[in-house]
């Protein structure tokens, strides 16, 4: 009787919407994966959220995430245990992969490592997220000084405080429930092919940010995977001179932004994957300037909010020299792909959005907005200053929407003192149509906008 009662309690706990998802291993796998004939052991069931309206504790669903560290080329086979697979699609489409379905398995080849998804039967339910990495050439000696090594296994309730000049290494097969934190650290590295997970934490009681850095410099974060965070995922506050490379994020719960940078300078994010239930890539300014932030060669899947965002919190004096380049958005369901929301008093200037491909544009679902591009200087729920700032000199180059809904553009200055000026758009192609005039789209423009807002000839 006690055993039955325990099972009922456990079942009810899993039915609670989004508070705590439990440990990764508690869910039966929905997919098996083989690379070059060898089965991948590190396949986890992790939470995602497909609701298109914000909720405190939204109901969660689960998808397989596989991490494989192998030398290429790769012969991939995936068996979806809960689906009768009839067709499959591998994204990003730029990989040029044409999968085959043979005896219920999805099969395909890749020449080099990639962060990709495998969708089956024309939908997104149960999508496989596959992260293919090559083995480290400079893997640290676990026993070396200044190295803290976490080998295969499960580590619970870990708050890892990084010190200057240290290496924190999460090896393949390692799952850490907890947080990596550093304040005032310099010249440290967080690396490895392991997992940092927040699924055991309550979103509102615990609010554990998986990677939380404050006033740090000269750091590198690479290769790790972060699953089901209970808050912002990678948060930088007043940091500078950092590189983030090949970090993979899948988030599901309220305010689980991917990369969130505040008052930071000279940060580069490259080769990363983000599936988020809030902004995927976001720059904010609270009480210090922001400059020199670059997001390059990233793959995004944005279930809620914006893909590439500056704002809404823009209380810095200046936010400048921000670049989003070579970005692939697999799906965007809710709010804009490209956005600057200057809802405080900052001067936002010298921003570049370049070479962005939106494979599936579904903006406007739920309580979202239907914009591909959205630049505003209007008050918001997050405004903390009396006056609005300005936006000056924004280049949007070579943006392509491959499928989905036909999106809109909004460029809206709140008043004559909060103007948006010098916005140039070129190389915009939507659903196969080259856009050379704003009249081809539904656009919303404020009478207070500056005069130099235009579509310019494609330099090609």
**Widest CA span of the chain, in angstroms?**
75
Average pLDDT over residues 364-371: 98
Q: pLDDT, tens digit, for every residue of 289-333?
A: 999 999 999 999 999 999 999 999 999 999 999 999 999 999 999
User: Could you report the per-residue pLDDT of 157-211, keeping only the tens digit for each?
Assistant: 999 999 999 999 999 999 999 999 999 999 999 999 999 999 999 999 998 999 9
Q: Are 183 and 160 in contact (CB under 8 A)?
A: no
Q: Any bridge partners for residue 371, and if so which?
A: 408
The CA-atom distances, in angstroms, between 308 and each of 243, 252, 314, 436 are 18, 18, 15, 23
**CA gap 403, 316 in Å, rounded:** 37
Indicate the pLDDT class of residue 455, thresholds 50, 70 and 90: very high
Sorting pLDDT into bands at 50, 70 and 90, what band is 105?
very high
The domain at 22-133 falls in which architecture?
Sandwich (2.60)
Distances (CA, A) of 185 to 169, 219, 222, 270, 280: 16, 8, 17, 22, 25
Name 311's bridge partners.
341
Vertex 280 angle, CA 380 and 383, to 5°: 15
Short-list 383, 363, 390, 279, CA closest to 324: 279
How sure is the predictor about 459, in pLDDT bands with cuts at 50, 70 and 90?
low
Distances (CA, A) of 182 to 168, 294, 342, 423: 11, 22, 29, 38
75 contacts: CB under 8 Å, gap ≥ 6: 35, 36, 37, 107, 109
Residues 166, 311: Cα–Cα separation, whole Å: 33
Assign residue 233 a region (left: φ > 0; alpha: ψ between -120 and 50; beta: otherwise). alpha
Burial 354-372 (b: 16+ CB within 10 A, else e): bbbbbbbbbbbbeebebbb
Answer yes or no: is pLDDT of 60 > 70. Answer: yes
- pLDDT tier, 20 (very low <50, low <70, confident <90, very high otherwise): low
Assigned token pair, 48: 């995602």
pLDDT at 458: 79
| Mean local confidence (pLDDT), 133-143 | 93
Q: 89 CB contacts (<8 Å, ≥6 apart)?
A: 99, 118, 119, 120, 122
pLDDT mean over 274-301: 97
Phi, psi of 135 (to 5 degrees): -60, 150
Instruction: pLDDT band for 460, please (50, 70, 90 cuts).
Output: low
Smallest CA-to-CA distance from 395 within 332, 338, 460, 330 is with 338
211-257 tens-digit pLDDT: 999 999 999 999 999 999 999 999 999 999 999 999 999 999 999 99
Q: Which residues contact 332 (CB under 8 A, 6 or more apart)?
A: 300, 302, 307, 358, 360, 361, 362, 363
Specify the DSSP element, H or E, that contains 10: helix 2-15
In terms of pLDDT, which residue wins out, 223 or 20?
223
Q: What is the pLDDT of residue 25?
A: 80
Q: Where in the chain is the domain with CATH 2.60.40?
A: 22-133
Nearest to 358 by CA among 375, 372, 341, 340: 372
CB 176, CB 169: distance < 8 Å: no
Alpha-carbon distances of 375 from 140, 208, 368, rounded to whole Å: 45, 31, 15
Question: Which residues have a Cβ under 8 Å from the Cβ of 313 and sit 6 or more positions away?
Answer: 262, 284, 285, 286, 343, 344, 382, 384
Give the pTM: 0.95
Phi, psi values for residue 14, rounded to 5°: -70, -25
User: pLDDT tens digits, residue range 154-170?
Assistant: 999 999 999 999 999 99
Specify whether the CB–CB gap between 358 and 326 falls below 8 A: no
Mean pLDDT of the 18-42 span: 86
Say what the pLDDT of residue 26 is.
82
């Amino acid at each position: 009787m006690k055993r039955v009662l325990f099972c009922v309690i456990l079942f009810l706990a899993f039915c609670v919407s989004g508070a705590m998802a439990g440990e990764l291993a508690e869910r039966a796998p929905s997919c098996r994966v083989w690379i070059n004939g060898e089965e991948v052991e590190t396949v986890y069931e992790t939470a995602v959220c497909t609701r298109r309206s914000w909720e405190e504790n939204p109901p969660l669903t689960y998808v397989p995430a596989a991490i494989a560290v192998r030398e290429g080329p790769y012969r991939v086979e995936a068996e979806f245990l809960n689906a009768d697979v009839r067709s499959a699609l591998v994204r990003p489409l730029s990989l040029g992969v044409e999968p085959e379905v043979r005896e219920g398995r999805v099969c395909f080849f890749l020449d080099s490592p990639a962060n990709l998804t495998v969708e089956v039967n024309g939908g997104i339910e149960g999508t496989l997220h596959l992260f293919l990495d090559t083995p480290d050439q400079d893997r640290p000696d676990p026993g070396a000084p200044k190295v803290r090594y976490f080998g295969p296994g499960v580590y619970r309730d870990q708050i890892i405080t990084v010190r200057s000049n240290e290496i924190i290494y999460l090896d393949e097969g390692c799952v850490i429930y907890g947080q990596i934190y550093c304040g005032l650290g310099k010249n440290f590295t967080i690396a490895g092919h392991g997992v940092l997970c927040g699924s055991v934490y309550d979103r509102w009681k615990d609010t554990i940010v998986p990677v939380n850095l404050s006033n740090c410099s000269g750091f590198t974060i690479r290769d790790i995977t972060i699953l089901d965070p209970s808050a912002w995922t990678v948060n930088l506050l007043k940091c500078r001179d950092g590189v983030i490379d090949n970090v993979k994020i899948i988030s599901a719960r309220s305010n689980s932004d991917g990369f969130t940078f505040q008052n930071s300078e000279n940060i580069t994010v490259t080769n990363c994957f983000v599936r988020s239930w809030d902004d995927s890539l976001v720059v904010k300014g609270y009480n210090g300037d922001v400059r020199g932030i670059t997001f390059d060669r990233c793959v995004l899947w944005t279930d809620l909010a914006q893909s590439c965002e500056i704002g809404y919190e823009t209380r810095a004096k200046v936010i400048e020299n921000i670049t989003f380049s070579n970005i692939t958005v697999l799906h965007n369901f809710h709010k804009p792909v490209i956005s600057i929301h200057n809802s405080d008093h900052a001067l936002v200037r010298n921003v570049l959005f370049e070479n962005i491909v939106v494979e599936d544009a579904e903006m406007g679902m739920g309580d979202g907005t239907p914009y591909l591009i959205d630049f505003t200087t209007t008050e918001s729920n997050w405004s903390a200053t009396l006056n609005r700032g300005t936006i000056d000199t924004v280049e949007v180059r070579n943006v392509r929407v491959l499928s989905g809904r036909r999106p809109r553009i909004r460029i809206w200055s709140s008043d004559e003192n909060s103007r948006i000026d010098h916005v140039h758009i070129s190389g915009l192609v939507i659903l196969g149509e080259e856009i050379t005039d704003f009249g081809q789209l539904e656009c919303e423009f404020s009478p207070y906008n500056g005069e130099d807002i235009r579509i310019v000839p494609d330099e090609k």
